[in-house]
Amino acid sequence: MSDIVLRPCTRDEYHEFFREYEPDPMMDPHPYRYQRTHVDHCFDFDEMRKSDSPIFGIFENGRIVGTLSLSRMDHLAHKCEIGIVLQHDGCKNRGIGTKAMKLGLELAVGQYNMCHIWADTMGHNKRMQHVLEKLGFELRETICGVYDLPSGKEDRLVYCWEVQA
């Protein structure tokens, strides 16, 4: 397994991620067109809200291959949400997502003192469900038909991972 690291990314690395980004057809059937100005705005926006919703680059052997977010951090309730996206199919199914999610959980607990970490995914995203369940997330709720996709309505599955007492 190659070396996987999670760390904040620079503006240039953020651009590098989006320059080669291809949406997963399972999540978004529309092609993505890289636009430098738009990506700049997104980077500025992410920077602005990084105190409660930090975003990290996922690096494989020094090259950015994905992003992982810890969002809506609630420091009183010690809870947040975790989200992940890899750059394109060439990065997927090689163990990177599982390793990055493990690092994300460690970061959420160790650096931000979070105890309850929520994640959600779509009913047909069996790969993400498998990754979440492998890492010890529990399915807490299924909200039927909330996503409107060209292929039809999709369920939202809500998972939670908790620090063991």
Give contact residues for ligand COA (rule: CB under 6 A): 24, 27, 84-86, 92-98, 121, 125-128, 130-131, 134
Nearer Cβ to ligand COA (75/140): 140
- The nearest distance, CB 130 to ligand COA, in angstroms, is 4
Count CB-CB contacts under 10 A for residue 11.
Answer: 12
Nearer to ligand COA, 32 or 44 (CB): 32
Q: Which residue is nearest to ligand COA (CB)?
A: 97
Instruction: Provide the minimum distance between the beta carbon of 59 and ligand COA in the complex, in angstroms, as a whole number.
Output: 14
Identity of the residue, 63 or 127, whose beta carbon is nearer to ligand COA in the bound complex:
127
Q: How far is the CB of 101 from ligand COA (least distance, A)?
A: 7
**In which order are the strands placed within the sheet that holds 79-86?**
4-7, 55-60, 63-74, 79-86, 116-122, 152-162, 138-149
Distances (CA, A) of 3 to 11, 64, 72, 112: 22, 12, 29, 23
Q: How far apart are CA 107 and CA 100, in angstroms?
A: 10
Integer Cα distance of 76 and 159 in angstroms: 20
Q: Within a 10 A sphere around the Cβ of 103, how many other Cβ atoms?
A: 17
CB of 6 to ligand COA, least distance (A): 13
Closest to ligand COA by CB, 2 or 10: 2
Least Cβ distance, residue 56 to ligand COA (angstroms): 13
Alpha-carbon distances, residue 46 vs 9, 78, 88 (angstroms): 11, 21, 21
Residue 86 or 107: which CB sits closer to ligand COA?
86
